[in-house]
Amino acid sequence: MSSSSSSSSSEKQWSDIQQELRSVHGFSDFQKINDYLYIGNQVSAMQKSRLKQEGITHVLKVNGLENRLPSSILGAEYKIVALEDNEYFEITDQDLEECFSFIRPKGRKTIVVCTAGISRSSTICIAYLMRYENLSLAQAHA
């Protein structure tokens, strides 16, 4: 298979995955929290052109789901942390530090995503803002 048809096949697979996720989750946008931190769902993390437009180079996925395509096709560096989406799962200090160390380096923009972009991603973003931006819970949640 030539590299051209291999690339075309990968792009088709990427498009199919995006469509599948959109049909499951129903939306695909993400939100800017500040100059370097964004929040979204799994589908939004696959929007290559939008990530590039915003200058987002790093994606923190906190749903534990591996990418079905390599980072080179998706256009960003990915870190995957397995946080379960249930009321009994306890996010540990170690989990937080793993996430924060990926977000923290200066000079890069990071989007934090989970499957639906509601619980786990917002928990990580709020905790990060409270710790590193010295915001109260109410301020970080606003």
Q: Which residues are identified as catalytic?
A: 114
Contacts (Cβ under 8 Å, ≥6 apart) of 11: 73
85 Cβ contact partners less than 8 Å away, ≥ 6 residues apart: 63, 114, 115, 119, 120
Smallest Cα–Cα separation from 76: which of 100, 53, 99?
A: 53
What is the b/e burial string over 30-42, where b = at least 16 CB atoms within 10 angstroms of the residue's CB? beebeebbbbbbb
What is the Cα–Cα distance from 121 to 40, expressed in whole angstroms?
7
